[in-house]
C-alpha cells in the first residue's frame, strides 16, 4: 500500500463522512449481525452474492441508501467476506470481524480505478476522483504506483484523512554478501543487532508526555457529550497519532536498512499477543502485580516488536527466520555456557565460564544470529554441554 495524506474541503469531508463512511459502516455492521445470529443447528449465514441481492432490495426500498454509492456499499460486503475467510483460515487465523463504531473505523474502498481518475496538479499536490464527491486533493509525496486498480480512503481518530492505493511493492533484493543478522527485541533497547547496533523507537518527548497527561486528566473531568470533551478528545488523539507516526516511520526506515544490508535475518519467535495478555484475572482468582504487568504490556506494544518483524517479512520474503527464544539471553555467545547468573543486569552480560563481558542484548542477538537457541542444557558451538562443569569442559574443548 502507498498511503498519502488527503486534504478535503469541508464540504467534501462532510460528504465522505456522512455518506460513504456511514453507509460502509452500516452495511458492515448488518453483515456482522447476520453472522452473529448463526449457531450450530441454524441455517448458515448468507454469503457475498446473497448479501448483494439483499443490498439491492434494500436500496430499492430506502431512498437514503439508494442515494449513496453502490460500489462503496458492495465493497464493504466484499471486505467483510475477505475478513471472514481470514478468520476461518487454519494456517494463519485472524480475529473475527466485529462491530464498527463511528469515529474509530471510518473508511471506504473504491475499485475500477482508471488512469483518468488520478491526476497531478503540481509538484506536491494531486487529485483523485471519488464517486459522488468529486475531485479531492491529496499530497503527492511520492510517485503513484503503476497499474493501480483500487484505493481506500480512511479517517483516523485524529481527524486526518488518508488515501492508500492498492499496489504490491517489489521486495528488496538481497545484497549477496552472505551476512546474517540476529535481532533481539527489548524495551530499554527496542532492537539490538548482532553487529552491536542498538536501535531505539522514538517516542514522545518529556514535555509532550506531560501535556498528554494533562489532556487525559482534563478529558476524564469533562462531561460526556459536551463540546469541550470533544475538543479535548481530539487533542489527545492527535498526541497519540504523533507517537504512532514516529514509531511507524522508525520501523520503515529500520526494516529497509536491515533488509538491504543482510542476506539472512533471524529474530526471536515471540508470542506477543500472549505476552501482552492482561493479568487482572477474575473476581475469584485475581491477578498479582496487575499495575506493573499493565505497564510492561504498554511498553512492549510501544516498542513495535510485531510491526518490525512483519515489515521485514514483507520487504525480505524468504530471508527472515524465527528462532526459538529459549535461553538466548542466558547463553554466552563466546563459549556457549548457559547460566542465569551470567546476566548480571538488564544491560550487562558477564559469562561465569569464560569471562566474556558485553551488552546483554547484543549477546542475545549474536546467539539468535547463530541459531543457538536451546531448549534444555546449553552447549559449546563445536562441543557438548558445558553447564555442569563449565571451567573444566571449556579448557578441554578449547572454548576459552
Residue 258: its H or E element: helix 227-261
Helices 48-61 and 70-87: angle between axes, nearest 10 degrees: 150
Q: Which residues are catalytically annotated?
A: 184, 268, 361
Per DSSP (E only), the strands in the chain are 2-6, 106-110, 118-120, 125-130, 134-139, 151-155, 161-165, 180-185, 191-193, 198-199, 264-268, 320-323, 348-350, 357-359
Three cell numbers at 55? 443490498
Q: In angstroms, rounded to a whole number, what is the distance separating the alpha carbons of residues 360 and 93?
A: 35
Q: Could you tell me how far CA 101 lies from the centroid of its own chain?
A: 20
Three cell numbers at 38? 448463526
Q: In angstroms, rounded to a whole number, what is the distance separating the alpha carbons of residues 355 and 340?
A: 14
Per DSSP (E only), the strands in 222-380 are 264-268, 320-323, 348-350, 357-359
Amino acid at each position: 500500500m502507498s498511503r498519502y495524506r488527503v486534504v478535503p474541503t469541508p464540504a467534501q469531508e462532510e460528504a465522505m463522512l456522512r455518506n460513504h463512511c456511514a453507509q460502509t459502516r452500516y452495511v458492515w455492521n448488518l453483515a456482522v449481525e447476520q453472522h452473529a445470529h448463526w449457531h450450530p443447528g441454524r441455517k448458515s449465514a448468507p454469503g457475498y452474492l446473497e448479501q448483494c441481492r439483499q443490498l439491492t432490495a434494500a436500496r430499492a426500498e430506502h431512498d437514503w441508501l439508494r442515494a449513496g454509492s453502490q460500489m462503496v456499499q458492495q465493497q464493504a460486503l466484499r471486505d467483510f467476506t475477505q475478513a471472514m475467510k481470514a478468520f476461518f483460515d487454519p494456517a494463519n487465523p485472524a480475529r473475527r470481524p466485529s462491530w464498527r463504531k463511528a469515529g474509530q473505523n471510518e473508511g471506504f474502498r473504491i475499485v475500477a480505478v482508471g488512469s483518468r481518475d488520478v491526476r497531478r496538479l503540481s509538484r506536491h499536490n494531486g487529485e483523485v476522483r471519488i464517486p459522488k464527491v468529486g475531485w479531492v486533493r491529496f499530497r503527492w509525496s511520492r510517485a503513484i504506483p503503476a497499474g493501480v486498480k483500487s484505493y481506500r480512503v480512511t479517517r483516523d481518530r485524529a481527524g486526518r484523512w488518508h488515501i492508500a492505493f492498492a499496489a504490491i511493492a517489489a521486495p528488496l533484493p538481497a545484497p549477496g554478501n552472505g551476512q546474517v543478522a540476529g535481532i533481539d527485541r527489548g524495551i530499554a533497547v527496542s532492537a539490538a543487532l548482532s553487529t552491536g547496533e542498538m536501535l531505539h523507537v522514538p517516542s514522545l518527548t518529556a514535555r509532550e508526555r506531560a501535556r498528554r497527561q494533562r489532556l487525559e486528566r482534563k478529558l476524564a473531568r469533562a462531561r460526556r457529550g459536551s463540546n469541550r470533551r470533544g475538543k479535548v478528545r481530539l487533542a489527545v488523539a492527535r498526541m497519540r497519532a504523533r507517537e504512532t507516526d514516529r514509531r511507524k516511520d522508525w520501523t520503515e526506515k529500520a526494516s529497509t536498512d536491515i533488509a538491504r544490508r543482510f542476506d539472512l535475518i533471524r529474530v526471536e519467535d515471540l508470542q506477543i499477543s500472549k505476552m501482552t495478555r492482561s493479568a487482572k484475572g477474575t473476581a475469584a482468582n485475581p491477578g498479582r502485580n496487575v499495575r506493573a504487568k499493565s505497564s510492561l504490556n504498554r511498553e512492549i506494544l510501544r516498542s513495535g516488536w510485531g510491526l518490525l518483524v512483519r515489515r521485514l517479512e514483507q520487504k525480505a520474503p524468504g530471508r527472515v527466520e524465527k528462532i526459538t527464544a529459549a535461553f538466548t539471553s542466558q547463553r554466552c555467545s563466546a563459549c556457549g555456557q548457559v547460566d542465569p547468573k551470567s546476566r548480571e543486569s538488564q544491560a550487562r552480560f558477564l559469562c561465569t565460564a569464560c569471562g566474556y563481558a558485553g551488552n546483554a542484548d547484543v549477546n542475545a542477538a549474536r546467539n539468535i544470529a547463530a541459531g543457538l537457541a536451546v531448549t534444555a542444557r546449553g552447549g559449546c558451538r563445536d562441543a557438548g554441554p558445558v553447564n555442569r562443569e563449565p571451567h573444566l569442559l571449556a579448557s578441554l574443548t578449547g572454548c576459552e
